[in-house]
Amino acid sequence: MRLRNVGIVYRKELIDQLRDRRTLISMIVIPILLFPVLGVGFTALAVKMLKRAQEEGHTVMVLGAEHGPALTEALGGAEGVRLVEPAADYASQIIDKNLRVAVEIPEGFEEQMKTPSGGMPEVKLYHFQGEVRSQLALVTVQNTVQKYRQQVIEERLTARNLDPGLLKPFEAKNENVAPPEKVGGTQLGAFIPYFIIILTLTGAMYPAMDLTAGEKERGTIETILASAVSRAELVFGKFLMVLTASAVTTVLSLASFAVTILFATGAASDALRQSPQKLTFVISTKAMAAVFFMVLPLAVTFAAALLAISLLAKSYKEAQSYISPLMIVVILPAIVSLLPGAELNAKLALVPVLNVSLVSKEILSGNYPWGMIALIFTSSCAYAAAALFVAVRTFQNESVLFRT
C-alpha cells in the first residue's frame, strides 16, 4: 500500500465533502451551535422560570387556621408564600396544580401545645410528590413550621428561666473542600460525554454514507475502482476522510462546550446573585484534551464501522435505514453512564462506548485513573483495528461493491 495514493484519495474525497452541504452541517454547524443553544437556552429558560416562580409565590392553604392563629400568621409572613382561602377540594386543587401545599392544623392545637402531657398535636402537610413547584413550596412550609416550633420551644424555656442555648450545644457548618474544577466536572461530567459521543458518530455518518452508498447511487464507484489505486489504498483514503469529519466534529464540540460553559455560567451567576448556591462550572484544558484523546479511538471505530455498513446499501436512503439501528446501539451504553451508581470498573472498561463515557466522566471531574485509562484506550484501539479490518475486507468483496 502506497501512502501517496492514500493521500490522493483522501484529498479528492475531502474536496468533494467540503462541497457537500449536509456534511458541513453535521461536521461544523451542529457541533458549534448545539452546546450554545442547549447551554445558553436552557440557562435562560431556567432563570426565567425561577424568577417567574418567585414572582408568583407559593400558594398555600391553611385548614383549621382558627386552631393555630400564630402558626397561620407565621406561614402568611414566610417569603414567597401566598395564603388562599380554605376549601374542601384542596386535594384536587393540588393535583390540578392550582394549589401547591395545604396545611391542616388540628382542633385544639394551641391548647395541646400548652399541656404536652395531653398528647402531641400533629400538623399535616399535603403536597404533590414529584411535582417541582409543590416540592419547592413544601420545603418553604417545612422551614416555616420548623422555625415556629423552635420559637415555641425557646418561649417555654424562657418561661422556666432556662437558657434557649441549652438546645444548641454546637453549630454545624457546611464547607466545600473540592476545587472548582472537580465541582464543575462532577456536575457536568455525567452528560457532556454523552453529547460528545453522539456528535462524534453523527459527524462521521453523512460522509460515510456519501462515500459509499452515494458513490453507488451516482454510478461513480466503478470509475473510482478502475483508477490506479488498490482497494486497500482506496478504503484507507475514504476512511481518513470520514475520520477527519468525526475528529473535527469532536474538536468543535469540545471547544463549543468550553465557550458555552464560560458564557452560560457568567449569565446564570449574574441572574442569580442572591442565590446561596454559587455556580462553579470550571473545566480544565487538560481534562478537555484527555477526553479528546480517549474519544479518538472511538471515532476510528465509528468511521470504519459506518463505511462497512454503508457499503452494504444500494442507495443513500437504504444506507440511512441500515445506520439508524447503530444510533440506538451507541446511545444505549451512553445513557447507562448517566444512571446513578454507574461507576467505572474493570468489566465496564471493556464495554465499547460505555467505557469511554465513564472514563470521560471521571476525567472531567478531575480524576485520572491511569490503569483504567490505559485499559480503555487499549481496548478501544483493538475495537478500532477490528472495525477497520472489516471495512477493508468489505471493500474487497465484489458482490458488495457492485450490489445495485
127 and 13 both lie in a single domain: no
Buried b (16+ CB within 10 A) or exposed e, 247-262: bbbbebbbebbeebbe
pLDDT at 277: 47
DSSP string over 209-263: HHHTHHHHHHT-HHHHHTSSS-HHHHHHHHHHHHHHHHHHHHHHHHHHHHHHHHH
What grid cell was written down for 44?
435562560
- Asked if the structure places residue 52 within a domain, the reply is no
Report the predicted TM-score, pTM, of the whole model to 2 decimal places: 0.68
- Tell me the backbone φ, ψ of residue 356, rounded to 5 degrees: -65, -40
Looking at 167, 195, 212, the residue that finishes a domain is 167
DSSP letter at 314 equals S
296 and 329 both lie in a single domain: yes
- Asked if the structure places residue 17 within a domain, the reply is yes
Instruction: Return the C-alpha torsion angle 80, 82, 88, 92, nearest 10.
Output: -50
If you search the block for the grid coordinates 392545637, which residue do you land on? Answer: 109
If you search the block for the grid coordinates 382561602, which residue do you land on? Answer: 85
How many residues can be counted in the chain?
A: 404
Which CATH number goes with the domain that contains 93? 3.40.1710.10
What grid cell was written down for 355?
467505557
Q: Taking a C-beta distance cutoff of 8 angstroms, is the pair 82, 57 a contact?
A: yes
- Asked if the structure places residue 173 within a domain, the reply is no
DSSP string over 82-112: EEE---TTHHHHHHTTS-SEEEEPPTTHHHH
223 and 347 both lie in a single domain: yes
161 and 189 both lie in a single domain: no
207 and 286 both lie in a single domain: yes
pLDDT at 136: 87
27 and 105 both lie in a single domain: no
- Asked if the structure places residue 172 within a domain, the reply is no
13 and 138 both lie in a single domain: no
Q: Taking a C-beta distance cutoff of 8 angstroms, is the pair 94, 102 a contact?
A: yes
- Asked if the structure places residue 175 within a domain, the reply is no
pLDDT at 339: 78
At 60, is the secondary structure helix, strand, or coil? strand
Looking at 119, 141, 167, the residue that finishes a domain is 167
- Tell me the backbone φ, ψ of residue 178, rounded to 5 degrees: -85, 140
Alpha-carbon radius of gyration of the chain: 31
The count of structural domains within the chain is: 2
335 and 256 both lie in a single domain: yes
Q: In a structure prediction context, what are the per-residue pLDDT tens digits for the chain, which is 404 residues long? A: 788 888 888 888 888 888 878 778 877 888 888 777 776 777 677 777 777 766 678 899 999 999 999 999 999 999 889 999 999 999 999 999 999 999 999 998 888 887 766 678 899 999 999 888 899 899 999 999 999 998 888 888 888 888 877 777 888 888 878 776 677 666 666 677 888 888 889 888 888 998 888 888 888 877 887 787 888 888 899 999 999 988 888 888 878 877 777 666 555 455 444 444 444 556 677 888 888 899 999 999 999 999 999 988 888 889 989 888 888 888 888 888 777 777 888 888 999 999 998 898 888 888 889 999 999 999 999 999 999 999 888 888 877 777 65
DSSP string over 190-201: TTHHHHHHHHHH
Looking at 167, 188, 216, the residue that finishes a domain is 167
Alpha helices (H) along 19-104: 21-24, 30-56, 69-76, 90-95
10 and 89 both lie in a single domain: no
- Asked if the structure places residue 28 within a domain, the reply is yes
Domain interval for residue 325: 3-47+180-401
Q: Taking a C-beta distance cutoff of 8 angstroms, is the pair 80, 113 a contact?
A: no
If we measure between CA atoms, which residue out of 190, 232, 181, 235 comes closest to residue 211? Answer: 235
- Asked if the structure places residue 38 within a domain, the reply is yes
If we measure between CA atoms, which residue out of 346, 348, 322 comes closest to residue 334? Answer: 348
At 187, is the secondary structure helix, strand, or coil? helix
pLDDT at 327: 85
Strands 81-84, 101-104: pairing is: unpaired
130 and 186 both lie in a single domain: no
What grid cell was written down for 42?
436552557
112 and 202 both lie in a single domain: no
87 and 223 both lie in a single domain: no
- Asked if the structure places residue 256 within a domain, the reply is yes
